[in-house]
Amino acid sequence: MNHDPTDLEGQAAAIADADERARLAARAEKEDVVWLMQSKRGRRIVSRMLGQSGPYRSVFHTNAMTMAYQEGWRAFSAQLLGKLTEYCPDLYLQMLKEQMENG
């Protein structure tokens, strides 16, 4: 399909379509995270993921490649933590409570 720079209606429709797809994808992501956190098993999985990736851990290393690798994991865990606190803060707190109870 060729792009026609003079087709303003087509461009507006394409933008609206892309916005709708992005909105639906964001909603699905939120629903997926909440679904995962609603079960004790899901909360244990997320807890392990956060523990292994270390959102609050220092990534400093004298080897730049090692530090970059560790920063990638830290950035992933920070994104996950942000989603948990935005989408389901009550379930995140429940996960932390369960984590404290189970050591």
pLDDT at residue 6 is higher than 80: yes
- pLDDT, residue 1, reads 62
Separation of alpha carbons 64 and 59, rounded Å: 10
Contacts of 80 by beta carbon, 8 Å cutoff, 6+ apart: 46, 49, 50, 53, 55
Encode burial over 42-63: b for 16+ CB neighbours within 10 A, e otherwise.
bbeebbeebeebebeeeeeeee
Contacts of 47 by beta carbon, 8 Å cutoff, 6+ apart: 95, 98, 99
**pLDDT tens by residue, 14-65:** 899 999 999 999 999 999 999 999 999 999 999 999 999 989 889 999 999 9
pTM of the model: 0.82
Select the more confidently predicted residue: 10 or 94.
94
Separation of alpha carbons 30 and 27, rounded Å: 5
